[in-house]
């Protein structure tokens, strides 16, 4: 891993920590004006996420001469973590991790915004899957990046991890409040 990729990963982790803290705070505001303000900020945060995501998924990638498509599920996992030596084992493992990390904010932001939905976790997962599917199709059509089933899986899993992180944070806050009262 070179310096620039370490800085990239560190910046993603710092963003995750700060945004998760804010979403957890906003999620716990449930009364009147404070709730409306924090929900408005969550919607703004979701919009900012989409802008940053579009930049990462499309605008920093030059178009390829031809569309690239891989329909073999788990190929990147087998190359990164399977037996034998792979040409770019560490690079593939890093890419899988980054896919998870990039979709985690979507998971906790959607989970917070959809907390009153009948099935917020399912709606959040469908949102993550839908954005990932739209991204993979758009990457194929625009010839930017690799359109693959593993990305669809990684991104949806990242969204699930973000939603579960919010649920875990809610549980911790609830326990802390119970101990204080």
pTM: 0.88
Q: Are 143 and 63 in contact (CB under 8 A)?
A: yes
List the domain boundaries for the chain.
Answer: 3-180
DSSP assignment, residue 145? S
| Helix intervals (H) in 29-148 | 32-54, 75-81, 89-113, 120-142
Q: Are 173 and 150 in contact (CB under 8 A)?
A: no
What is the reported pLDDT for 87?
64
CA distance 120 to 159: 12
**pLDDT reading at 2 higher than 50:** no
pLDDT tens digit sequence for 123-134: 999 999 999 999
Whole-number percent of the chain with pLDDT over 70: 93
Mean pLDDT (whole number) for 109-118: 94
pLDDT tens digit sequence for 135-160: 999 999 999 988 999 999 999 999 99
């Amino acid at each position: 891993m070179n310096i620039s990729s370490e800085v990239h990963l560190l910046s993603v982790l710092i963003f995750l920590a700060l945004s998760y803290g804010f979403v957890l705070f906003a999620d716990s505001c449930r009364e009147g004006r404070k709730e409306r303000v924090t929900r408005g900020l969550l919607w703004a945060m979701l919009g900012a996420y989409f802008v940053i995501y579009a930049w990462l998924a499309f605008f920093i990638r030059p178009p390829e001469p031809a569309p690239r498509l891989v329909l073999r599920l788990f190929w990147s996992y087998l190359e990164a973590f399977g037996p034998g030596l792979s040409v770019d084992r560490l690079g593939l493992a890093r890419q899988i991790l980054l896919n998870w990390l990039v979709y985690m904010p979507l998971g906790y932001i959607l989970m917070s915004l959809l907390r009153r939905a009948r099935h917020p976790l399912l709606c959040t997962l469908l949102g993550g899957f839908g954005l990932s599917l739209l991204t993979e199709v758009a990457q194929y059509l625009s010839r930017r990046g690799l359109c693959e089933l593993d990305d669809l899986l990684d991104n949806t899993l990242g969204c699930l991890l973000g939603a579960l992180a919010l649920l875990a944070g809610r549980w911790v806050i609830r326990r802390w409040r119970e101990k204080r009262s």
